[in-house]
């Protein structure tokens, strides 16, 4: 019994090392990219191998991030209970685990998907785990803007997995996440600004103040609203998406405007939470809008 509990703790620690919540969001947006690339025609091998490969490499990047940031994480209340600051995992084993995840992921993508997806996913891993984590995060308050490109790549990865190409519609999905990332993360940065300051991480609220960051969140949210309409404007989606995303946009605008003009202590973290709901809802709407005609034809024929 005691041995089983010990193994369970170790397995849970390795699981937490991969940031499962973040990986789940990455995999979800990659899956939407797959399903939008070829509605109703995604090969099962590509679906499962692509999802697994992208997920494993995302988990690898997350584990590398925690290895690099272990000392910073130990100084922040939000992250001090992660496996490495808590001493739940040896550093060497964590690095080996991250390498094995990445190697397995790229191997799966190369063998059962295609080389373009493997290369793009590897570049995303390097962009997040190396460029952002090891350099940008500590070098500039625009870290999340520049580094956000890696986090915005999953829809392109999913699309490339199915079609073997980078389509303009996939780039539009990338743009949505890229513009969404700064207001999403800066809301959290306001909430945790004292911790970032103590850890010497130059997040925007630390270097330029909270008021300036609120303004940037508001301006990026306005830009996000405009970008979110583009799938309808270019014929990528229909009326269902337009109505749904308009409702989501109003919610995000409410939080951004409240932060800007009627700030409260609880608003930054609420804005952060809503931003996650917003992105998941937007991609779910894209998927539903694309597949609703197929579902209607299917049930109509039966």
Q: In this structure, are residues 267 and 259 in contact, taking their beta carbons and an 8 Å threshold?
A: yes
Neighbours of 24 (CB within 10 A): 13
Look-up of token digits 């685990």: 97
pLDDT for 272-287, tens place per residue? 999 999 999 999 999 9
Distance CA 42, CA 233 (A): 25
Is the whole model's pTM more than 0.85, yes or no? yes
Neighbours of 147 (CB within 10 A): 21
1 burial via Cβ count (<10 Å: 0-12, 13-18, 19+): exposed
Own/partner contacts of 15-21, CB < 8 Å, gap of 24 or more, are: 16/82, 16/83, 17/62, 17/63, 17/66, 17/82, 17/83, 17/84, 17/89, 17/94, 17/97, 17/98, 18/59, 18/60, 18/62, 18/63, 18/101, 19/59, 19/62, 19/65, 19/66
Is the pLDDT score of 28 beyond 80? yes
The CATH homologous superfamily for domain 1-166 is UbiA prenyltransferase (1.10.357.140)
Q: In this structure, are residues 140 and 162 in contact, taking their beta carbons and an 8 Å threshold?
A: no
Domain ranges of the chain: 1-166, 167-290
pLDDT for 213-268, tens place per residue? 999 999 999 999 999 999 999 999 999 999 999 999 999 999 999 999 999 999 99
């Amino acid at each position: 019994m005691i041995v089983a509990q010990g193994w369970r703790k170790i397995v849970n620690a390795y699981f937490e090392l991969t940031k499962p919540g973040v990986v789940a969001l990455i995999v979800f947006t990659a899956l939407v990219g797959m399903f939008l690339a070829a509605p109703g025609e995604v090969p099962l091998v590509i679906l499962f191998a692509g999802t697994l490969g992208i997920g494993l490499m995302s988990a690898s990047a997350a584990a590398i991030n925690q290895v690099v940031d272990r000392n910073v994480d130990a100084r922040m209340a939000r992250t001090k209970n992660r496996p490495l600051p808590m001493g739940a995992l040896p550093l060497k084993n964590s690095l080996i685990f991250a390498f094995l995840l990445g190697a397995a992921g790229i191997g799966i993508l190369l063998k059962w998907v295609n080389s373009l997806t493997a290369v793009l996913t590897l570049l995303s891993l390097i962009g997040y785990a190396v460029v952002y984590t090891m350099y940008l995060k500590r070098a500039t308050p625009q870290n999340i803007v520049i580094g956000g490109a890696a986090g915005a790549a999953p829809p392109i990865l999913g699309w490339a997995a199915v079609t073997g190409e980078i389509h303009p519609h996939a780039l539009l999905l990338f743009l949505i996440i890229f513009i969404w990332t700064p207001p999403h993360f800066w809301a959290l940065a306001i909430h945790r600004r004292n911790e970032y300051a103590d850890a010497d991480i130059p997040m925007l609220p630390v270097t330029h103040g909270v008021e300036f960051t609120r303004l940037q969140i508001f301006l990026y949210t306005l830009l996000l609203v405009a970008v979110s309409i583009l799938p309808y404007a270019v014929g990528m989606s229909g009326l269902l998406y337009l109505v749904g995303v308009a409702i989501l946009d109003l919610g995000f605008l409410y939080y951004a405007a409240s932060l800007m003009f009627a700030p409260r202590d609880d608003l930054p973290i609420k804005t952060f939470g809503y931003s996650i709901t917003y992105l998941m809802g937007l991609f779910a709407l894209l998927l539903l809008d694309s597949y609703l005609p197929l579902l209607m034809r299917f049930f109509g024929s039966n």
